[in-house]
Each structure stands twice: as C-alpha cells, then as structure tokens.
Structure 1
C-alpha cells in the first residue's frame, strides 16, 4: 500500500508537466479525493494515512504537517519526495492522471467546497469544537460510491 506522500508526489509531477501551481490546500484535497475514488472503484484504500475532520474540511495530518509551511504558495516537490516511500504502479499512475485531468484545473478552494457538501464524510464526522475526529474509510467509500454509480449509470460501466 502507498502513503499519502506517494500520491502527493504524483500530483506534483503531473502539475509540473502542465506548468500548474499546487498549493497545500489543493494537494491535500486532491489526495483526499483520490482516496475516495480509489475506495469506490477498488474497494481498498490507496494509502494508509489517517484522514481527519478538521474545522475547515478533511485533512490528512501527515501531509498537512509537511506542506503547511508553503502557505498559499507552490508546494516543493523535492520536500514531498523525501517522504515518499514507493514508486506507483502503472494502474495507479493512470488513475491519478485521470483524476488530475478532471480536478487538476480547480483551485484548492474549489476542491475544498466539493469536500464540504451536506452529505459528505467530513460533514457527517465533524463536530464543532472537536479536533482530530477520524473520517472512516467506509464513510468515504460510501460517499464516492455514489459518484461512481452516477457517472456509470448505476451499473459500473462508463457511459
């Protein structure tokens, strides 16, 4: 299994190929969304890092701690690379490239708003005043299952 840093590294590589800027918020949200779709498609997690419900949305604390120093600026891919543990397989690279193609043009704020929908795992897990509430992979999978079924017409086949 991969770590969130392996996934983040791939998103930063794709952004660099396009000449795009990826700030910490965008990287966190893309990495979270990748976990959701991966759970929905393959019924297993893409990475093993904890995801928590914080005041402003779902957060992967391990990735947050490393990238927060960049504020609203470009995340340094060399720093993330120091934490990456594995090379992604071709299937995972293709999966992340497809996600990048769909979500890569959105800003961190736009991605954040997608993760804050009323029935989202974050909305269901977050309790005002509490911190570090786990967002369960099963809740994430259930939520993203809805998107996968909607896009495939409910039968698992792409329309």
Structure 2
C-alpha cells in the first residue's frame, strides 16, 4: 500500500499533513497534483511511503518521524485547517512592525502604524488585510484585539507571523504596504501620527463621538483615507 503525505510545518506549531493511501500509483499522483493546484502558495513537502496497510498508524510504525504529525484525510478539511493556521490577524502585523521598528511601550504609535498599513493595503487591493476592524477612540483609530495583546505582551512570535505573511495569497501586496508605511511613517512621532488621523474629513473625524468608540468602516477608509496621508 502506498501512502501520500503532504506535510506542512509552521514554526512554533504542531506539524500537520494530508494523508492518502492507495495501491494505485496514478491515483496518488492525481491527489498530489490536486493538492499543489489548490494550495500552490503554501510550502508543502511531499513524502511517499509503502507499508502493508492503509492506516496512518502503519505510517508511524514505518517511520516514527510522523508520530507527532496531525493527520488529515479529507482534502477539504486539510484546506480549512491550513487556512485557519495561516490566517493573518492584526496581531501578526503588529508583531512584524514591532520587530522592524520597535517603539517599546508606545501603544499609540503601534496602533497608528497598524491603521496606516491596513488602509494602504485596502486602497491598493480593495481587500481587508485582516478580519479585525478599527474603532474611533480618543487618540485615533484603534484595533482593540491587537492593543490588548500588546498590553498583555501576548503578540505572536515574529517568525510565526512572517510565515503567515509569506503563505498569504497577497504576500507581495502585504509586504509592499508594510515597507511603504515603515519608510514613510516609521520615523514619525506619535503626536505627528495622531495629528494625521485627526485631520478634518479623515475616517476618524467622520466617526468619532466621545465615549462611543464607533466602528470605522472599510468604505469610510476608502472614501476618506486620502485626507490623512502625508502631503495632503
């Protein structure tokens, strides 16, 4: 019995693999091609073994290297799990920015740079960089999840976050936005960044009501982000 093992190893995470077994070599090739067509953007290593049985346990008996690998035997479930494990969050972008720039305990600067990266990516692609959204707080747009993670010193490891960025279907655009914002805004003071987001007609100004922390919609960012850019 032949075993096709499509293995994914992410830093600081349990390795997992799509497993398919058959005595038909051509069928194994078809499954391999299906995996690489559907998930061509991901770094997946292919292994083929032969055992007497079709079970995953026979693979482990044959090669203990796979004993700590999570086995997934449905291609759709594999895709869902792969997407979940590599989905970018606001905290991943903060982790990257912290690794590149620092800014110690300056939460407000982190929040503004995160907002500018998100806004630039949204303008470029008309896609949301991550599912979390921004609210209009007193000192500008804030994404609460990443703020609380930063307060608790619970941001992801930067290498783990870089893995996710590299695996993304939009990796080129993401890194383009990150490097652009770091270059233009990275050396600005917190006050300078707050002054930009507080400009009359900005997305923050359109939504801010003292004490309410109103949501800033993507449509408002697309309409009004140009107001708060440097030079405008």
Short-chain TM bin: 0.7 to 0.9
Say which of 128, 143, 164 aligns to 1:87: 164
SS at match of 2:165: coil
- For structure 1, the 5+ residue unaligned runs are 70-75, 152-159
Other-structure match for 1:136: 217
Deviates most, 28-37 or 6-15: 6-15
SS at match of 2:141: strand
Q: How much does 1:112 deviate?
A: 1.2
- TM-score, L = length of structure 2: 0.52
SS at match of 1:81: coil
Say which of 117, 131, 146 aligns to 2:199: 117
Q: How much does 1:116 deviate?
A: 0.6
Larger strand percent: 2
SS at match of 1:134: strand
Name which structure has the greater RCO, CA cutoff 8 Å, separation 6+.
1
Q: How far apart in 2 are the matches of 1:138 and 1:115?
A: 16
Question: In the alignment, is the contact (CA less than 8 A) between 1:40 and 1:142 conserved in 2?
Answer: no
Larger helix percent: 1
Other-structure match for 2:181: 99
Question: In the alignment, is the contact (CA less than 8 A) between 1:12 and 1:22 conserved in 2?
Answer: no
When the two chains are superposed, the root-mean-square deviation of aligned CA atoms in Å is 2.7
Tell me whether 1:30 sits opposite 2:113 in the alignment.
yes
Cα 1:145/1:10, change in 2 over 3 Å: same
- TM-score, L = length of structure 1: 0.74
Q: How much does 1:4 deviate?
A: 0.6
SS at match of 2:220: helix
